[in-house]
A and B are shown apart, each in its own frame.
Chain A
Amino acid sequence: MMRNEKLARWIVVALILMAVAIPVGGLWLKRSNVNVIELHARTPENGGWSMNTIQARVGQPITLQMTSDDVVHGFAVGKSDMLTWVNIIPGETVETTLTFDHPGKYTFYCTRWCGTNHWRMHGEIIVTGDGDPLPADPVPLYLQYHLDIDAPHLAKVIPASPPSAERGARFESMLPAYVTEEQTYLLNSPADLWQRLRQEPALADLSDMDIWDVVRWVWDKQTSAKSQSLGIKMFMALAAAAHGAAGKGDGVMVRGLPEMSHETMGRKLVRPPDFTDPHVLLGASPAILEGKIIRGGMGTGMPSWGAILSREQIRSIIGYLYTIAWDSIK
């Protein structure tokens, strides 16, 4: 009887110890691994990222073990390639290892629309150590050239029918040199360039439509298939929730908001403008669009993307925006 009793007690103790050891042991293992950082994603209303600042050293990899405590989120370091973006699914753990070659401050952000305050879901990775810091981005064009990116920019003239870059290419030899310079593209809206070309004596014999074809040709030269592809992906991932998949300004996140108008401007959150109205984008220069994307604000809910997107990524988005405008001409 005594032997049975002892054995029974040992069995109970052993099983209970096992039951306790599994979670406790797991916890201890997690905490003891210094280079692994547990990061919980939560909507900003729920607390946002569980760590707002992460420390790292140059050249030393850090592993982020991420999970979401509520809805689907995503993780990316600002200005990084879209291929490195990671989805964070509730209840599951995803790992990503980052190594920084330059000291400095890096922004990390949520890449999946998770609620009305999704665009506030940022954190910082502070990288210390030897080495040259990352080269700073050039000063935004709108600041360099003192452009007012809040001024209205509706195009006064738009093409009567869809312009063709192929047709415009025929006139290449007739064009003044400045037409194909990058600065011309950056600082002029398509409508601006059309006006300037319309007044060129050398092009007086061309029809209005011919000149639009030239403008289209100029615009197309400044982009590429790869850039367009990146632009579409970035637009759909980051902008479509507010701007709508077609750019009409009717995204899920802005339903119920009033339209942009003289009365609402600067007073409350409004819907984005309708990019499928050619007047809107054909009157804006790439420099203006770049400024809006970098700075945001404008008295609307437009977030500031300067820390999040690289200049190349912004250019490819702008290239896609013009495609939306050209394609909406009937």
Chain B
Amino acid sequence: MNRLDLTRSPLGMSLLRGRWPQFLLRAVTLAGFIFTILAGLFGSVVGSHNFAIIFVWVAWWTALKLVFIPFGGRSWCAICPIPMPGEWLQNGGIMRRRGGAGLGLGKRWPKALKGTWMQAGGFLLIGLFGAVTLTSARITAIVLLFILALALVLSLLFERRSFCNYLCPIGGFTGLYAQAAPVELRVKDPEICAVHEEKTCYTACPWGQYPLALKTSANCGLCMECLRVCPSDNLAVNLRPWGSDLGPKTKPRLDDTFLALVMLASALIDSAVFLGPWGQLKQAAYTIGSAGWFIFVAAFLAVGLVILPGLYALSVRLAQGAEQTWSDLRKHLAYYSQVLIPLGLMAWIAFTTSFAFVKFGYVLPVVSDPLGWGWKLLGITRAAGVGQVTTFSLILQVVLLMVGLFWSSRVARRISASARQAAPLIGFSSLFTLAMLWLLIG
């Protein structure tokens, strides 16, 4: 089998099973998160000189899109600080496992609110207010503070990681793209689970998953709690080929389809607004409440809720027509959404590349002077300038978008009955890739 079990190595096992390595990382990210909020609230209003802006929207975002997700799937969720205060309270301690004495009402999340609908909506909302959020240190800090408080409150009302599962906009697309990522947590031998009555792995899982029956990596936050409690050491953390969760047997849902489409639309609009040469568009996106902004919102929602989904639905319909399987449009819309996953993943990597390399020069100076008050913690006296877009960066973006196109086309072929059936979906992917190419390079 093409899986490499990291728990087979003693070092791997002790790092993954041990509570201390993960805890130390989480403690640091939590302190960093709080520092970021304070820097955003009290530091310089000039974004390029504020730790909050540079570290959230440049350093962390780039790490997330270029490292955490493509190489580790939902690996950020393993060390994310946002749910930690709530989870520690739920467990009754930092080193305690789930299920013992703790705080919280532990209610079930309402069924009607389950799924990734709210995460997709949340990400769309961020996009509508993105121009201001991404450039204002104060507003970034307020958003982070709000998320921290919300996660805490939800942890005290509902069971497990409700915020992470149903509300976190980052969690939404991280989970979506984790299906294409090269890391998974899976059961080694299902027979052992069949005779295990207690199912301790389910009790331990803060994500509410059934580790014994995990088929997709979308909802597993790689927290390793199940690994720690399994009496038979029956769980493996595997390195695997990219795109392993995508295939003919996968059954995506309609809300995942919607999320995938929102991610594609956001990539297009963000590229146009932030990287495009259209000053009026930037102005419209920035002046919230103005007539121009409402037009911008209407256009954004039109692309994200009507145009792109419409084109996608059309290509699905054509795919159905190719094999005369006309019935059950909903099922097919959901099924073919797998094609959108590698497409979106590579598009977001390309988009991030286009601004990250240029802005990375700000990272070190902002560590030396995080609040923009003239400090020299690292002894850096000269302020950073914005870097230049290099030919290398442009070529890299083209390559990344091409990889996305080929990969999604391969997935389309793999899950279709014939090449003729895959063709309309490849057409959709090509159109999207062309649009991204024009926006990023053209």
Contacts and interface: CB of A to CB of B under 8 A. Distances in A.
Interface of A: 1, 4-5, 8-9, 11-12, 15-16, 18-20, 22-24, 26-27, 30, 65, 67-69, 89-93, 95
A93 B374 contact: yes
A91 B42 contact: no
Contacts of B42: 23, 27
B126 interface: no
Contact of B38 (A11, A19, A69, A89): A19
Contact of B371 (A11, A23, A68): A23
Interface stretch (B22-30, B403-411, B419-427): B22-30
B29 to A, nearest CB: 10
B383 A91 contact: yes
A15 B30 contact: yes
A19 B96 contact: no
B28 A15 contact: yes
Contacts of A30: 373
Contacts of A93: 372-374
Contact of A5 (B31, B44, B95): B95
List the 5 closest pairs (A to B, CB-CB), nearest first. A91-B46, A93-B374, A91-B49, A15-B31, A19-B35
Contact of B383 (A65, A69, A92): A92
B364 to A, nearest CB: 15
Interface string B38-56: 1100111111111000000
A23 B96 contact: no
28 contacts: A1-B95, A4-B95, A5-B93, A5-B94, A5-B96, A8-B27, A8-B95, A9-B94, A11-B24, A12-B27, A12-B31, A15-B31, A16-B34, A19-B34, A19-B38, A20-B34, A20-B38, A23-B39, A23-B371, A24-B38, A26-B371, A26-B373, A69-B45, A69-B46, A90-B46, A91-B46, A91-B50, A93-B374
A94 to B, nearest CB: 8
Contact of A18 (B31, B48, B373, B374): B31
B91 to A, nearest CB: 10
Nearest to B84: A12
B99 interface: no
Contacts of B372: 67, 91-93
Interface SS majority for chain A: helix
Contacts, number: 78
Interface of B: 19, 23-24, 27-28, 30-32, 34-35, 38-39, 42-50, 93-96, 370-375, 383
Nearest to B40: A23
A26 B375 contact: yes
A18 to B, nearest CB: 6
B31 A67 contact: no
A11 B46 contact: no
A91 B48 contact: yes
B96 A92 contact: no
Contacts of A11: 23-24, 27
Nearest to B42: A23
A89 B44 CA distance: 12
A34 B305 CA distance: 57
Contact of B32 (A8, A19, A67, A91): A19
Contact of B44 (A8, A19, A67): A67
B31 A19 contact: yes
Contacts of A8: 23, 27, 94-95
Nearest to B34: A19
Contacts of A19: 31-32, 34-35, 38
Contacts of A16: 30-31, 34
Given A19-B31, A92-B372, A12 B94 contact: yes
A27 B373 CA distance: 9
Contacts of A92: 49, 372, 374, 383
Contacts of A12: 27, 30-31, 94
Contacts of A26: 371, 373, 375
A294 to B, nearest CB: 37
Contacts of B370: 22-23
Nearest to B94: A8
Contacts of B94: 5, 8-9, 12
B385 to A, nearest CB: 11
A135 to B, nearest CB: 37
Contacts of A5: 93-96
A30 B372 CA distance: 13
B425 to A, nearest CB: 47
A23 B49 CA distance: 14
A26 B41 CA distance: 13
Contacts of B31: 12, 15-16, 18-19
A20 B41 CA distance: 12
Nearest to A69: B45
Name, among A20, A24, A91, the residue most crowded by chain B CB atoms within 10 Å (CB to CB): A91
A246 B372 CA distance: 38
A65 B374 contact: yes
Contacts of A15: 27-28, 30-31
A2 to B, nearest CB: 9
Given A16-B30, A19-B31, A26-B375, A91 B44 contact: yes
